[in-house]
Structure 1
Amino acid sequence: MVTVFKTNVQCPAKAVFIVNGLLSEYPAFRINFDLEDCDRILRVEGNHIEINGIIASLQNHGYLCEELPY
Structure 2
Amino acid sequence: MKTVLVFKTSVRKRGKVNYLAPYLNELINDHGRWNFDLEDCDNILRIETQKPNPSAVSTLLTQRGFFCEELH
Shorter-chain TM-score above 0.5: yes
Compute the RMSD of aligned alpha carbons: 1.0
Which residue is equivalent to 1:14? 16
TM-score (norm 1): 0.90
Which residue is equivalent to 1:52? 55
Cα distance, 1:25 vs structure 2: 2.3
Moved over 2 A (4+): none
Distance of 1:33 and 1:20 partners within structure 2: 14
Unaligned runs of 5+ in 2: none
Q: Percent identity?
A: 39
Which residue is equivalent to 2:64? 61
Q: CA offsets, 1:1-44, max 9 Å, x none?
A: 11100001111111122132111222122011000000000000
Matches for 1:17-36 after TM superposition, within 5 Å:
17-28=19-30, 29-36=32-39
Number of aligned residues: 69
Distance of 2:10 and 2:54 partners within structure 1: 17
* Contact 1:3-1:45 within 8 A present in 2 as well: yes
By percentage of residues, which structure has more strand? 2
Distance of 2:20 and 2:52 partners within structure 1: 16
Unaligned runs of 5+ in 1: none
Distance of 1:3 and 1:40 partners within structure 2: 14
